[in-house]
Amino acid sequence: MFYREAGDFKTTYADDSQTFPIKFDRYRYWAVLAFAFLVVPFIINDYWLNAVVLPFLIYSVAAIGLNILTGYCGQVSLGSGGFMAVGAYACYKFMTSFPGMDIFSVILLSGFVTAAVGILFGLPSLRIKGFYLAVATLAAQFFLVWLFNKVPWFYNYSASGQINAPERTVFGYAVTGAETHAWAVYLVALIFVVVLAVIARNLTRGSLGRKWMAIRDMDIAAEIIGVNPMTAKLSAFAISSFYVGVSGAMFFVLYLGAVEVGEAFGIGKSFIILFMVIIGGLGSIFGSFAGAAFMVLMPVLLKNVMVGQLGWATDLAAHFEFVIVGGLIIVFLILEPHGLAQLWRLAKEKLRLWPFPH
């Protein structure tokens, strides 16, 4: 009833190519943003921040990153965990080497370092495709984790082999370290997520995004209409790695605070992010958010139901959690291989006609 294109005439091509062509969507978008910036900071507490909101925000950035590479450019990567580790360790080195630098610059610089590493490990993609590329990125995953374990320079020769986030403040409020304010941490993460999501959307709807999608859908035809496969693939690797690196840095400084590389950024992390992208929907920014929300919320929800409602033992619930989440992923892939984003699209198509579908 409210969800209509009718009467909303586009008179310029700029209007026609905007992100939310339907008025209702635009209002909803601004409403969500206003809620996230103006309401949530006042009601958020430590439990919600650490159990739900912060992992969701951080994983969203990682999922957008992998979606750029896998969903938009068609290059499968199993190295996201390793690239997150690069972001985290770069962040740690910047913070300890330049104590005066503010947290935003540090996280951004970590992203750029990861982008450079991503280009390096993206080079095989110029020669190999599909499963073989996935295996090559898997090598990146294991190599990077091994590197951060073996070379003490990366963790400043600390005895435990861990890295710990030093305290940093933004306008006098601590956002990293031991004593943080939930709302301040939340706002820092939110700013990164919103800005990066908007940039990702702009890149993917412009000429760069079309180059990536052309390479994904048919690389030979793409080359013949003038796409340089080398720059297209490497730019996808660079930008994707930038996002994943930023999320790794945030994961370290804002969320965990202390990191042991094998535990925090192991192969499991790569798979979780890949699941997010696949469940959310390949080639969709919204899908990245939906997938991240699914993978973060589902375990929390299941735990609450099994431990809180049914009164099961924690270890039993933890095991069942794996079974159920795993099962759900399989069911999901069979029933809706195009992910949550496709369900959302179908819902919107139905909404357009509702309540008079004929």
Partner 1 sequence: MTMAETYQTPDGRTIGGQVMEMKNITLRFGGVKAITDISFDIREGEIRAIIGPNGAGKSSMLNVMNGFYHPQEGEVWFHGKKRGPMKPHQIAKQGIARTFQNIALFSGMSTLDNIMTGRLTHMKTGILKQAMWWGPAEKEETENREVVEKVIDFLEIQSIRKTPVGRLPYGLQKRVELGRALAAEPKLLLLDEPMAGMNVEEKEDMSRFILDVNDEFGTTIALIEHDMGVVMDIADRVVVMDYGKKIGDGSPDEVRNNQDVIDAYLGVAHD
Site residues (CB under 8 A) for partner 1?
12-14, 17, 199, 202-203, 206-208, 210-211, 213-214, 216-218, 220-229, 235, 239, 283
Please state the closest distance from residue 318 (CB atom) to partner 1, in A.
39
Please provide the size of the chain in residues: 358
| The token pair that represents 205 in the structure block | 């709807």
Nearer to partner 1, 76 or 222 (CB): 222
8 A C-beta contact, residue 239 and residue 111: no
Closest Cα partner for 271 from 72, 59, 118, 56?
59
Nearer to partner 1, 205 or 303 (CB): 205
CA distances from 294 to 272, 289, 297 (A): 11, 9, 5
Please state the closest distance from residue 239 (CB atom) to partner 1, in A.
8
Please state the closest distance from residue 73 (CB atom) to partner 1, in A.
12
Q: d(Cα 180, Cα 173) in Å, to the nearest integer?
A: 8
Nearer to partner 1, 213 or 274 (CB): 213
| The token pair that represents 221 in the structure block | 């035809």
Q: d(Cα 83, Cα 72) in Å, to the nearest integer?
A: 18
DSSP category for residue 152: G
DSSP β-bridge partners for residue 162: none
Q: d(Cα 62, Cα 84) in Å, to the nearest integer?
A: 8
Nearer to partner 1, 18 or 314 (CB): 18
Please state the closest distance from residue 122 (CB atom) to partner 1, in A.
15
Please state the closest distance from residue 345 (CB atom) to partner 1, in A.
11
Nearer to partner 1, 11 or 160 (CB): 11
